[in-house]
Amino acid sequence: MSQNNKGILLESGTNELEIVEFGVGNNKFGINVIKVKEIINPVPVTTVPHAHPSVEGIITLRGEVLPVVNMSTVLNFPPSQDPKHDKFIVCEFNKTKIVFHVHTVSQIHRISWNQIEKPNEMYTGLESQIIGVIKMKDEMVLLLDYEKIVVDINPDSGINVDRLKNLGPRERSNKKLVIAEDSALLRKLLEETLEEAGYGMLTFFENGQDALDYLEGIVSSGRNITDVVQLVITDIEMPKMDGHHLTKRIKDNKDLKVLPVIIFSSLITDDLRHKGEVVGATEQVSKPEIVELVKFIDKHVL
């Protein structure tokens, strides 16, 4: 099944997404359609010596060599009961192509980000792979942190403080940044790297709704927004309110629209870059390009 339904990409800031529902064991999981290039039947996998335990091996697809990640191993679930009916989900994000080996693929759901609940740390913990829980009729569909799964396998693909060294010595900045990012891992990495880059005045929110409430609260208290916040950085995929909708709400607000908004997401592709432009994003940077992000922050606040 090739993923050709790009209709949702034509709309901007609707706070909706489409997910592909897939199964591993008895559990249902979801992945944003935008990450999915196509879904294919399994093909022979070439094993690679000394690979990460979750990496089953590599395949060749239309001339490209792609790693295959076995989701049973990632999730610590039993292997497939019926391997010949398994599916390969070919994905692209973080400027990387990767294949997720799952047991079943059932359907595509169109949902709103506000239908997605943040998981409780009581049953997930900081290092959880679950970033959202979607209650649908009689079942729960779990949204996984696919970026974290990839970074766990290949740490070099993530945000890295060392990349900032080519910027040279950095001055401390008193500029205040608001950051909307739902992943605890990414919030920690952003805090470390931006601190290293001289930006220590950071206020983090786990979703776009909380960030917007904070910004609107400043304005409603009678203060000038630019006296309190100088720039907003937002992820795209977040429960309650996604980054495109947050950007649209900021840019549609006469008191907030002066704020530069940088979308920092693993989903910055040609299709999605257009979507960010429509909602008024000042800049768009693909994760994990932290140096590019810092350069844009410098450009707009220094």
Global pTM reads 0.85
Q: Is the pLDDT at 199 greater than 80, yes or no?
A: yes
Residues 6+ apart with CB under 8 A from 260: 230, 231, 232, 282, 283, 300, 301
| Cα angle 128, 130, 135; round to 5 | 145
- Domain ranges in the chain are 16-156, 159-301
The CATH code for residues 16-156 is 2.40.50.180
In this model, does residue 9 exceed pLDDT 50?
Answer: no
Which architecture, in CATH terms, is 159-301? 3-Layer(aba) Sandwich (3.40)
Asked if 16-156 and 159-301 have one fold, the answer is: no
The pLDDT-based confidence of 8 (bands split at 50, 70, 90) is very low
Checking if the pLDDT of 211 tops 50, the result is yes
Is the distance from CB of 246 to CB of 278 less than 8 angstroms?
A: no
* pLDDT at 1 (0 to 100): 41
The amino acid that residue 162 corresponds to is D
